[in-house]
Amino acid sequence: MSSTINGRTPEHSVAPLFLERWSPRAFTGEALPEAELMKILEAARWAPSAYNAQPWRFVYALRDTPAWPRLLSLLNQHNQSWAKEAGALLILFSKTTLVPPGADRAVPSACHSFDTGAAWGYLALEATRLGWHAHAMAGFDKARAIEDLAVPEGYMAEAAIALGRQADKSVLPEALQTREVPSGRTPVSGFAFAGKFKD
């Protein structure tokens, strides 16, 4: 049995990094250096994907750069209220088509979102390993992200991501302070079934 980390006790032994990664909202406002972001994106680069099509695409804005207000404005008001203290913001897109091996033209991909989710997971774990935190968000304007960030046809907006240095929860408004705690999980038996689905 692995020991408790972040108030999280695993059922089975697992690498500590999986318990250390969580999604805080309290950030210090420290800018994420571009070199650090590249290391974090390097982890995303090595995610697996169907036919190795690598459908993930990131548009990023480092804090205090001209692109920052553009990306921040895409988030809904709730997410802006805390993500404004992140060190970098990313919008994650997926390419919805791929060219299968041996084919000469692109076909719709059945796996673009699944694969792009794997890239997000890798990124989040590497950010944690390097002493930063990643917080994914569905609460952003996907249509405007496509328009404002000049995304061509054939890409889907998947998620926004705040990357930053974790701060004490006291920097948050009171309502968010009570939620600023690493969450638990359902037991493995609740989502993995031997032989046949259990509802």
Ligand X SMILES: Cc1cc2nc3c(=O)[nH]c(=O)nc-3n(C[C@H](O)[C@H](O)[C@H](O)COP(=O)(O)O)c2cc1C
Eight-class DSSP state of 51: G
The alpha carbon dihedral of 95, 97, 99, 105 has a sign of negative
Size of the site for ligand X (CB under 6 A): 10
CB of residue 21 to ligand X, shortest distance in Å:
7
* 181 in contact with ligand X (CB under 6 A): no
CB of residue 103 to ligand X, shortest distance in Å:
31
* 137 in contact with ligand X (CB under 6 A): yes
Strands across the sheet containing 133-137:
56-62, 88-95, 155-164, 133-137
* 57 token code pair: 């695409």
CB of residue 23 to ligand X, shortest distance in Å:
3
Are 146 and 177 in contact, with CB atoms under 8 Å apart?
A: no
**Of 49, 54, 79, 94, which lies in the binding site for ligand X, with binding defined by CB under 6 A?**
79
Which range, of 36-44, 86-94, 96-104, 136-144, touches ligand X by CB under 6 A? 136-144
CB of residue 82 to ligand X, shortest distance in Å:
7
* 47 token code pair: 């995610």
- CA separation (Å) from 112 to 42, 53, 60, 142? 19, 9, 20, 16
**Of 139, 148, 169, 177, which lies in the binding site for ligand X, with binding defined by CB under 6 A?**
139
**Of 4, 9, 73, 183, which lies in the binding site for ligand X, with binding defined by CB under 6 A?**
183
* 123/36 Cα distance (integer angstroms): 12
Length of the chain equals 199
Nearer to ligand X, 54 or 116 (CB): 116
> Which residues in this chain contact ligand X in the complex, by CB under 6 A?
22-23, 79, 136-139, 159, 182-183
